[in-house]
Structure 1
Amino acid sequence: MLLRYFYDEKLAQASYMVGCQKTGEAIVIDPARNIEPYLKEAEKEGLRISATAETHIHADFVSGTREFAQRLGTTAYLSDEGDASWKYGFASEIDARLVKDGESFKVGNVTLEVMHTPGHTPEHISFVLYDRDQTVPMGIFTGDFVFVGDIGRPDLLEEAAGIQGTTAVGAKQMFNSLKRFKALPDFVQVWPGHGAGSACGKALGAIPTSTVGYEKATNWALQMEDEAAFVKELTTDQPEPPNYFAMMKRVNKEGIADTTTLSAPRAADTSELTELVQTMQVVDTRDGKSFAAGHVPGTLNIPYNSKFVTWAGWLLDFDHDIAVITEPDQFQMIQTDLQSVGLDRFVTVIDVANLSDEQLTEQYPDWSAEQAMQAAEAGDVFVLDVRNKTEWDGGHYAQANRILLGKLATRHQEIPTDRPVAVHCASGVRSRMAVSVLQSLGIKDVINIDGGYAAIQTVLHQRTATES
């Protein structure tokens, strides 16, 4: 048997390829939309990918199961658990095998047994792996059920998909699912679907794999025996889910176009920028300080770094075309990244090197924390904190008002326009994106607080020391 681990650091998403070297067959568990890495690895190992398996309908990335099936004719093993709302709509279009708790299937001489593990979602299943005809399990692919140090959150259906009343039900289901997990032998390896940085839990570890025994000894969720206390802990302080999660649920349930049918973005001349800003979402991928020094009015600043995909999912919508200002060697990578979260309407690129100073007419200033705080306390600025709720609850500036960065587009009417807006996050990265959002929405008198809340805390500590 061969086991390969694939990890997308931009989405903190893990997938796995299991191969039977004797028969040459392989299966991919929870594949990402970009299937090329799996195909390359299979070719290198002399394997043919004949199947995929899904632990659940994913909310944080576009699954590659349908892409595999449409392009290569692979068999898809999909959950048949949950009610009618949680059935795969695209199953009838491909060679799909719907599986339930206790059933098993083979890929070559490798056996995968289905375990229904609801809680994160009603249809969620895990796959227990057996090599050859052994009766002792080797490991379990847990998807978004059990992570290293944490478990899947039960509130995404309510928070992201708007299905009311599901959080408490999911938490109770998770409590019961964990009883089955704890009954597995301690030596069974745990292969989760996400790592640290994923919004599918609140305290995921950075170690890629674990064992049942280690999780029983260290994972907070497996230590709790009181259901009511467990439900309360699990449903408290979960991170706010990105806007795009609701769309991911839909496309992974109903299906999405194959990437081979999507055209490469058209290269546009900078003379078209005025029209593009009026008709498209235009993203400038330069770093925040460069954007602050001069940018095209109406553009959004989402720096191209490891967090680009997540923030694109937060700040862009799926119903309008997208143009990106970037460097030519990044065109293809950006398209792949956007496609990974279903942002397929990336149709135009502009070479950043062709921008002229005459086009970069809009700017915004940086203020020190002291300068911003003095202005706020005099009533001369409106201080906006764009951090998440957990950060805010951990401490915030008394003069600040909180609106999450990802919610600015829908809540900007709450921001007064009678005075400048001074924006901060934790350190200054998110606040720069927030400034670009506000300026694109017509709120032009905006300031970035350099150093963010960390700098504000320093000023507050200095004041306290002086007073004492």
Structure 2
Amino acid sequence: MLLEKIKTPGLAHLSYLVGSGGQAAVIDPRRDCAIYVEKARAAGLEITHIFETHRNEDLVSGALILADMTGATVLHGPNTEQPIVYAQTVRDGDCFAIGQLKIQVLETPGHTDDHLAYALFDTAYPDKAVGVFTGDALFVGDVGRTDFYPERREEVAGLLYDSLQKILALGDQAIIYPAHGAGSVCGSGMAEREFSTVGHERVNNPRLQMTDRDAFIRFKVSENHYQPPYFRLMERLNMEGGEAPPPVMRPRHLSLKQLQTCTADHLIDIREPMAYTSGHFPRSMSLPVGMISAFAGWFIGEGESMVLIASDEEQLATAMAHLVRIAFDNIIGGYVGVVPAAAQGQEMQQTPMIDTAEVEARLINNKGKEDSNWTLLDVRDADERATTAIEGSQHIYVGQLNERWRELDKNHHYTLMCGSGARATVAAGWLASRGFDNIDIYLGSMGAWKAGHD
């Protein structure tokens, strides 16, 4: 008997391989899904069922691809705007045998209309569920977001409340297996650990402490979430079924001359923020490899072409994997060698960094001036901004600069700040790629400001 979690870094996506008696099922597979076949075969199992908890917004499902590879049946929930063309619809109470195991369907709408949870039973010990695959309804330390149907905000928040009661009714002994862990855009309060039980969540999960349905609805309606543009692409692909990923998950190597003459829509520098600010190719944007999953979907459009600029080949491979999992496949190639290029006389740009003392001096000089040519631009999210803000600063969330950069004056001087400086570098790099030359970054940002004002 096997139950293995497969984690997708960056997206903090959790999928599962469960097997018994020569059969196996996969829950919520990712797009690059050969890993499930390899693990199943290594355990002597045949994948016969693929269960989707819901239509994902933050990644491309690998269900159709995996079904083509294995002949397995894909199962998906009802109540979608249109049927999932590659899946069979299952409903509350439907059961499926996987060897000695039994998987029972629970309809759990709220996060999405089609959302399902799957209760896992061991038929040799059938008294109560061993575990439950909770999708994006229940996380470790949090519950799912309910902002995908803005015209029905109260209704879907209430549906999620009711769905959570159905999961809780499985009993405190049930182990929970969510579809995401900490760092996912699908929830903001998840615990760092990825193991828990229904009983532990009942006692410790702040959202499950809210036993008044109306209070829960009010709380969920008041939450602030961002929806990057690529969510619409993910929704469409996950209705139709995404295509198989590229067979080789490494970008083609580009020479310096090829880089200089390419016509890619985006030059994306995936090195660490300090490396980017120290020297980067003109008009390249900063998107550190560890931040690709969070922010690529804000700045890259469907079908747009990219060149990746990295510190080493492994960085290129990791970045390509992150991009492919959200359907950004049009990668012309990758380049490694910024420092040697500079040594050959290649023009480089730098992004200056300033410290707290300089920020304070500029704020003092700016105070009361209506015609100031300098702005401290805070690119943190709205919740962070509401908690602590520097007086005199202005706010645009980093992702929303994808469009709102047009509101800014290229002749104006902007200092970008966030929590530590990482997102500020992404924001500064995006503005630089749009032709803004008079920008710098507050090194340490809010962390440094708080340290200097304790």
Query: What amino acid is aligned across from residue 288 of structure 2 in structure 1?
Result: P
Alpha-carbon offset, residue 398 of structure 1: 1.2
Q: Does 1:140 align with 2:140?
A: no
Alpha-carbon offset, residue 135 of structure 1: 5.0
Runs (5+) with no aligned partner, structure 2: 367-372
Query: What amino acid is aligned across from residue 43 of structure 1 in structure 2?
Result: R
Alpha-carbon distance between aligned partners in 2 of 1:264 and 1:146, rounded to the nearest angstrom: 35
Alpha-carbon distance between aligned partners in 2 of 1:359 and 1:239, rounded to the nearest angstrom: 42
Give 1:203-242 correspondences, 5 Å limit.
203-242=189-228
Q: Percent identity?
A: 30
Superposed CA offset, 1:17-72 (max 9, x none): 1101x2x1101111111213222322221212222110000111111111101222
Q: Does 1:128 align with 2:119?
A: yes
Give 1:31-50 correspondences, 5 Å limit.
31-50=29-48
Q: Which residue of 82, 87, 104 corresponds with 2:83?
A: 87
Alpha-carbon distance between aligned partners in 2 of 1:8 and 1:263, rounded to the nearest angstrom: 15
Superposed CA offset, 1:318-368 (max 9, x none): 231111112223333322221111111112222225533432422121111
Alpha-carbon offset, residue 388 of structure 1: 0.6
Query: What amino acid is aligned across from residue 415 of structure 1 in structure 2?
Result: L
Aligned residues: 444
Superposed CA offset, 1:255-275 (max 9, x none): 221115678643222123344
Query: What amino acid is aligned across from residue 40 of structure 2 in structure 1?
Result: A
Q: Does 1:12 align with 2:12?
A: yes
Alpha-carbon offset, residue 209 of structure 1: 2.2
Alpha-carbon distance between aligned partners in 2 of 1:39 and 1:71, rounded to the nearest angstrom: 8
Q: Which residue of 145, 151, 154 corresponds with 2:143?
A: 151
Q: Which residue of 377, 384, 388 corresponds with 2:381?
A: 388
Query: What amino acid is aligned across from residue 7 of structure 1 in structure 2?
Result: K
Which has the higher mean CA deviation after the structures are superposed, 286-295 or 401-410?
286-295
Residue in 1 aligned with 2:356?
Answer: 369
Q: Which residue of 154, 163, 170 corresponds with 2:156?
A: 170
Runs (5+) with no aligned partner, structure 1: 159-163, 462-468
Alpha-carbon offset, residue 231 of structure 1: 0.9
Superposed CA offset, 1:291-312 (max 9, x none): 222211111111223x332222
TM-score of the pair, normalised by structure 2 = 0.92
CA contact (8 A) 1:202 1:238 kept: no
Residue in 1 aligned with 2:283?
Answer: 298
Alpha-carbon distance between aligned partners in 2 of 1:293 and 1:218, rounded to the nearest angstrom: 45
Q: Does 1:323 align with 2:310?
A: no
CA RMSD of aligned residues (A): 2.0
Query: What amino acid is aligned across from residue 318 of structure 2 in structure 1?
Result: M
CA contact (8 A) 1:294 1:360 kept: no
CA contact (8 A) 2:32 2:244 kept: no
Q: Does 1:419 align with 2:412?
A: yes
TM-score of the pair, normalised by structure 1 = 0.89
Give 1:67-466 correspondences, 5 Å limit.
67-79=65-77, 81-83=78-80, 85-88=81-84, 90-91=85-86, 96-132=87-123, 134=126, 136-155=128-147, 157-158=148-149, 164-260=150-246, 265-276=251-262, 278-305=263-290, 307-326=291-310, 327-352=312-337, 355-357=341-343, 358-379=345-366, 380-461=373-454
Alpha-carbon distance between aligned partners in 1 of 2:236 and 2:347, rounded to the nearest angstrom: 38
| Structure 2 residue matching 1:266: 3-state secondary structure | coil
Query: What amino acid is aligned across from residue 280 of structure 1 in structure 2?
Result: D
Alpha-carbon distance between aligned partners in 2 of 1:272 and 1:249, rounded to the nearest angstrom: 35
| Structure 2 residue matching 1:165: 3-state secondary structure | helix
Question: Structure 1 pair 171/454, CA: closer, same or farther in 2 (3 Å)?
Answer: same
